[in-house]
């Protein structure tokens, strides 16, 4: 009889414990959405006066940013942000995928165990260090062999590609390792070579994870600030080549928010709204592609 009572109390305790943790998970999950909503609400509230006074289309399509005359147009910064992000992905995506393939199916075990910590170490390096290395080493090289001062979209893209590379490599590697071993064995047993097995079996099977890594890398690239300020030149112009100087949306916020007031303050927050929407659009496109590929 006593054992039945004890067992009943244990079941009741586990039931209460499960209910508690279930509600706790709901609360923490809802808190994440609430924090995101409050951040978006604050940015929109501060940026709304700029949209009203300047006009949404005029603000987005304008090519002049003149604080003295209260003229604010962010088209050059939008283009600069997109150019740098696309350039970084062009460099980092192939390099990241090839590196992940090398680590999972080509590299010897000793080399693999040495490379993985090195790649993971890149995540912990502060962005200002990347910017410093780019400013002192990469920019003079581009200035010598390219055009202009060296502070350019090319320099920013290379620095940014190195920064997003660990994200792409790690997630792509995990996605490839998650492919069932039977896929490999089946392809090889049918007479496929190792490279045919990798390209025609592993990569298609791991494609959803690879696309997810690209989405996360793109988000990191768009949001990077400090390293970009140090190597891109920060000129508010529409770039006409990869050697041209430019400025990103995040760079404008970092450089000018400290001394902003009035309409200038509202215009900077309106820039944040545009950046927020731009990230949502690009991430949504990536998620749609991911969902389609998964099907």
The average pLDDT across 121-149 equals 85
- pLDDT winner (highest mean) among 81-90, 98-107, 144-153, 213-222: 81-90
User: What integer pLDDT is reported at residue 295 of this predicted model?
Assistant: 54
| 21-49 tens-digit pLDDT | 778 888 888 888 888 888 889 999 999 99
| 152-183 tens-digit pLDDT | 899 999 999 999 988 899 888 888 888 888 88
User: What integer pLDDT is reported at residue 160 of this predicted model?
Assistant: 92
Residue 291: pLDDT over 70: no
The average pLDDT across 237-242 equals 86
Instruction: Identify whether the C-beta of residue 221 lies closer than 8 Å to the C-beta of residue 85.
Output: yes
Cα–Cα distance for residue pair 163/227, rounded to 1 Å:
9
Which residue from 287, 89, 293 is spatially nearest to 205, judged by alpha carbons? 293
Residue 197: pLDDT over 80: yes
What whole-number percentage of the chain has pLDDT above 70? 92
Domain residue spans in the chain?
65-294
Residue 258: pLDDT over 80: yes
Cβ neighbours of residue 15 under 8 Å, at least 6 residues apart?
none
Residue 290: pLDDT over 70: no
Q: What CATH homologous superfamily does 65-294 map to?
A: MetI-like (1.10.3720.10)
Average pLDDT across the chain, whole number:
84
The reported pTM is 0.83
């Amino acid at each position: 009889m006593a054992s039945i009572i004890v067992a009943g109390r244990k079941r009741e305790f586990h039931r209460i414990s499960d209910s508690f943790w279930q509600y706790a998970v709901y609360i923490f999950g809802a808190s994440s959405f609430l924090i995101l909503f409050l951040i978006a609400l604050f940015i929109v509230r501060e940026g709304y006066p700029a949209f009203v006074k300047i006009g949404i289309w005029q603000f987005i399509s304008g090519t002049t940013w003149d604080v003295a005359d209260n003229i604010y147009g962010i088209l050059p910064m939008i283009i600069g942000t997109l150019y740098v992000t696309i350039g970084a992905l062009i460099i980092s995506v192939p390099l990241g995928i090839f590196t992940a393939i090398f680590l999972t199916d080509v590299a010897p075990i000793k080399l693999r165990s040495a490379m993985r910590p090195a790649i993971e170490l890149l995540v912990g390096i502060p962005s200002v260090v990347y910017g410093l290395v780019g400013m002192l080493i990469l920019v003079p090289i581009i200035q010598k062999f390219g055009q202009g001062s060296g502070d350019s979209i090319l320099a920013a893209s290379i620095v940014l590609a190195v920064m997003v590379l660990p994200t792409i490599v790690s997630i792509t590697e995990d996605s490839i390792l998650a492919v069932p071993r039977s896929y490999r064995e089946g392809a090889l047993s049918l007479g496929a070579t190792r490279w045919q097995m990798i390209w025609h079996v592993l990569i298609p099977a791991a494609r959803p994870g690879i696309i997810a890594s690209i989405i996360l890398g793109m988000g990191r690239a768009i949001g990077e600030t400090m390293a970009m300020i140090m190597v891109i030149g920060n000129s508010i112009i529409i770039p006409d080549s990869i050697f041209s100087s430019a400025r990103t949306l995040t760079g404008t916020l970092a450089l000018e928010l400290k001394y902003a007031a009035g309409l200038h303050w509202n215009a900077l927050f309106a820039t944040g709204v545009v950046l927020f929407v731009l990230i949502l659009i690009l991430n949504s496109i990536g998620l749609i592609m991911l969902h389609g590929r998964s099907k």
